Amino acid sequence: MDFITQLPLSNTFYSILVVVDSFSKMAIFIPTYGTITALDLAQTFFSHVFYKHGLPVSIVSDRGSLFVSSFWTQFCQQLKISRDLSTAFHPETDGQTEKVNQILAQYLRIYVSYHQDDWHTWLPLAGFAYNNAEH
């Protein structure tokens, strides 16, 4: 799980939450607002991941402030989800998600208009293309 941040404004979104299932290689791309709290992250996760795919056994993420917050820690403990945090300056710990981020960036370069203000509308197509490609 990772965020792609500092994107051009698209509707009201500034970033993308990328969630990758390490077993199936399936990815979910969720547009998010520029500032998101741990509570917003939990609600987004529930709305887009948990209710469709069930609870994960573990979540691998970097050490971003959202992922190490006390709320997110308690949230994962209550749901019995193991949190695996990457080591500082070693993004290869979550290399699968980092690779998906690169592929998503390539897709968006192809799909998005010259003004780069419509990328959020292309995320479902990018997700479809990625999830149906051979990995």
Residue-wise pLDDT tens digits, 114-124: 888 999 999 99
What does the domain layout of the chain look like in residue ranges?
Answer: 2-131
> Phi, psi (5° rounding) for residue 51?
-70, -25
pLDDT of residue 23: 87
Residue with more model confidence, 37 or 92? 37
Q: Which residues contact 72 (CB under 8 A, 6 or more apart)?
A: 38, 41, 42, 66, 83
pLDDT digits (tens, 9 = 90+) for 52-106: 888 899 988 877 777 888 888 888 899 999 988 877 666 566 678 889 999 999 9
Question: Does the structure show a pLDDT above 80 at 126?
Answer: yes
pTM of the model: 0.85
Q: Are 38 and 75 in contact (CB under 8 A)?
A: yes
Alpha helix stretches (DSSP H) within the chain: 38-45, 51-53, 65-68, 70-78, 95-111, 119-131
- pLDDT tens-digit series, residues 7-25: 999 999 999 999 999 889 9
- Would the pLDDT of 109 be above 80? yes
Is 127 in a helix, a strand, or coil? helix
Tell me which fold the domain 2-131 belongs to.
Nucleotidyltransferase; domain 5 (3.30.420)
